Amino acid sequence: MPVTAVVGAQWGDEGKGRIIDYLAQAADVVIRFQGGDNAGHTVINEYGKHALHLIPSGIFNPKTQNIIGSGCVVNPQALLDEMSELTAAGVDLSNLWISTRAQMVMPYHRTLDVLEEAARGKDTIGTTKRGIGPAYADKAARSGLRIGDLLQPEWLEARLDNALRTVNRKIEILGGEPVDGQQLFELCLSFREQLGPRIIDTVPMTRDAIVNKKQILLEGQLGVMRDLDWGIYPYVTSSNPTASYASSGAGLPARTISRVIGVVKAYSTAVGDGPFPVELHDEDGTRLREIGGEFGATTGRPRRCGWFDGVAISYAAWLNGMTGLAITKLDVLDEFDSIKICVGYKRPDGTLITDTMPDTPVLMQVTPVYEAWEGWKCSTAGCRSWDDLPKQARAYLHRISELAAIKIDYVSVGAAREQMFAV
């Protein structure tokens, strides 16, 4: 069965974009199934270096249909900006589609994201301030506007009017400026002008692809540790990056997904607030950040860095039903004498957690238990097969696979498309 979900197995930024770009060379359809322009998926190929926010990472293959699925929240302005950048780089956008059912991120969602973060005082989530939480909140509250509404101006106007009744009150309570409905409506009409022909009911396209056994990739955003239900709540995003949501957010029957690839860095990073047990505040943490270029692709924030978290991978692999791992950024560890892996969390009472993810208040109190692995102290950037890797690197990767209890499908040793190989 040709549907593969590609999901983040850590705290986001695992390298999902580059994996999709690689796999999309042979894909007929790529569908982003959740999230919005909080994503920053870096792809480096013959078109240059691009951080994709909303556009699926299969866009560089002119034969691939790229769909922004119904599980996404779409800021039309951000999408138009991204489209302009890609067009300027010579990328063909004729196969870019947006589901009528995807929610719209309106300018007031960004305003609310900023105001709500400020109102949290010291208990911030560290959001990307892209309006993602408020847009999904409106979706659940049934006051959201959908991309398809752009095609029905009368309906859109009434929906907007309805939404603004509560939105403006909220904004005022939080100390912001209320928004003008008429101006927003006109802005929406300009979005309709520019995006109209790309807004489609995606079901005929995806159904046709399934019937004809086409290769379909489902592109996740963020990672399991920031999943709304299964992540470090409340320091999470407002959607579900886990594979179980992929079919719903993409608009496919659940049983059509036959492969789930979990993307993991060979170490750990997180951007934003919340517990991150393996975080290093020492020189090793700084080295990982510098060598790995660990700065957010969307916000530019320095990422928190740490050793590989074996508890998180065991949890992520099981929860996602992963069939294989794609391990990225192995090359970042090339110069370390010794490399650690967290194999358990110790609670304050001394008891050990190895195969479950404790709830947030408990996770905040645990200390990681490490085992040390010998470094390989040579460059892996030119390796193009498993056998090319130094034996210490193979042993290290083998341990990660053992902790996840699944096989390794791909390894990457550099950010360029060719610096990746199947195992």
Closest CA to 265 of 323, 297, 226, 223: 223
Binding mask 41-80 for ligand IMO (x = CB under 6 A): x---------------------------------------
Burial label for 211, CB within 10 Å (0-12, 13-18, 19+), is: exposed
Q: Which stretch binds ligand IMO (CB under 6 A): 120-128, 370-378, 388-396, 411-419?
A: 120-128
Which of ligand IMO, ligand GDP, Mg ion, none binds 132 (CB below 5-8 Å, type-dependent)? ligand IMO
Closest distance to Mg ion from the beta carbon of 297 (Å):
4
Q: Which stretch binds ligand IMO (CB under 6 A): 32-40, 69-77, 279-287, 370-378?
A: 32-40
Asked if 52 is part of the footprint of Mg ion (rule: CB under 5 A), the reply reads: no
DSSP result, 207-252: HHHHHTT--EEEEEEEEGGG-TTTSSTTSS-SS--SGGGHHHHHT-
State how far the Cα of 313 lies from the Cα of 94, in Å rounded to an integer: 38
Among 5, 13, 20, 86, binds ligand IMO (CB under 6 A): 13
Asked if 297 is part of the footprint of ligand GDP (rule: CB under 6 A), the reply reads: yes
The count of chain residues that interact with ligand GDP, using the rule CB under 6 A, is 21
Q: Helices 153-173 and 107-119: crossing angle, nearest 10°?
A: 20
Which of Mg ion, ligand IMO, ligand GDP, none binds 32 (CB below 5-8 Å, type-dependent)? none
Asked if 80 is part of the footprint of ligand GDP (rule: CB under 6 A), the reply reads: no
Of the pair 73, 311, the CB lying nearest ligand IMO is at 73
Q: Which stretch binds ligand IMO (CB under 6 A): 83-91, 230-238, 275-283, 315-323?
A: 230-238
- Looking only at the bridges linking them, the beta strands covering 29-32 and 216-223 are parallel
| Count of other CB atoms within 10 angstroms of residue 279 | 15
Q: Which stretch binds Mg ion (CB under 5 A): 40-48, 59-67, 152-160, 282-290?
A: 40-48
State how far the Cα of 46 lies from the Cα of 112, in Å rounded to an integer: 39
Choice among 21, 28, 37, 41 that is catalytic: 41
Q: How far is CA 234 from the centre of its chain?
A: 17
Applying the rule CB under 6 A, the residues between 7 and 36 that interact with ligand GDP are 8, 13-18
Asked if 159 is part of the footprint of ligand GDP (rule: CB under 6 A), the reply reads: no
State how far the Cα of 297 lies from the Cα of 279, in Å rounded to an integer: 20
Among 15, 36, 40, 251, binds Mg ion (CB under 5 A): 40
Asked if 133 is part of the footprint of ligand IMO (rule: CB under 6 A), the reply reads: yes
Closest distance to ligand IMO from the beta carbon of 11 (Å):
6
| Count of other CB atoms within 10 angstroms of residue 358 | 17
412 neighbors 330 (Cβ within 8 angstroms): yes
400 neighbors 308 (Cβ within 8 angstroms): yes
Closest distance to ligand GDP from the beta carbon of 161 (Å):
37
Choice among 13, 21, 37, 227 that is catalytic: 13
Asked if 237 is part of the footprint of ligand IMO (rule: CB under 6 A), the reply reads: yes
Asked if 35 is part of the footprint of Mg ion (rule: CB under 5 A), the reply reads: no
Among 7, 30, 39, 311, binds ligand IMO (CB under 6 A): 39
State how far the Cα of 156 lies from the Cα of 377, in Å rounded to an integer: 60
The count of chain residues that interact with ligand IMO, using the rule CB under 6 A, is 24
**Is 398 in the active site?**
no
Among 10, 221, 242, 244, binds ligand IMO (CB under 6 A): 221
DSSP result, 64-122: SEEEE-TTBEE-HHHHHHHHHHHHHTT---TTEEEETTSEEPPHHHHHHHHHHHHHTTT
Which of ligand GDP, ligand IMO, Mg ion, none binds 149 (CB below 5-8 Å, type-dependent)? none
Provide the 8-state DSSP code for 382. T
Among 56, 76, 272, 324, binds ligand IMO (CB under 6 A): 272
Asked if 206 is part of the footprint of ligand IMO (rule: CB under 6 A), the reply reads: no
Token duo for residue 393: 């690197």
Asked if 93 is part of the footprint of ligand GDP (rule: CB under 6 A), the reply reads: no
244 neighbors 55 (Cβ within 8 angstroms): no
State how far the Cα of 353 lies from the Cα of 72, in Å rounded to an integer: 34
Of the pair 156, 330, the CB lying nearest ligand GDP is at 330
Q: Which stretch binds Mg ion (CB under 5 A): 7-15, 116-124, 239-247, 387-395?
A: 7-15
**Is 109 in the active site?**
no
State how far the Cα of 409 lies from the Cα of 43, in Å rounded to an integer: 19
Which H helix or E strand runs over 167?
helix 153-173
Residues forming the active site = 13, 41
Residues near ligand IMO (CB under 6 A) are: 8, 12-13, 38-41, 125-128, 130, 132-133, 221-222, 226, 235, 237-238, 271-273, 297
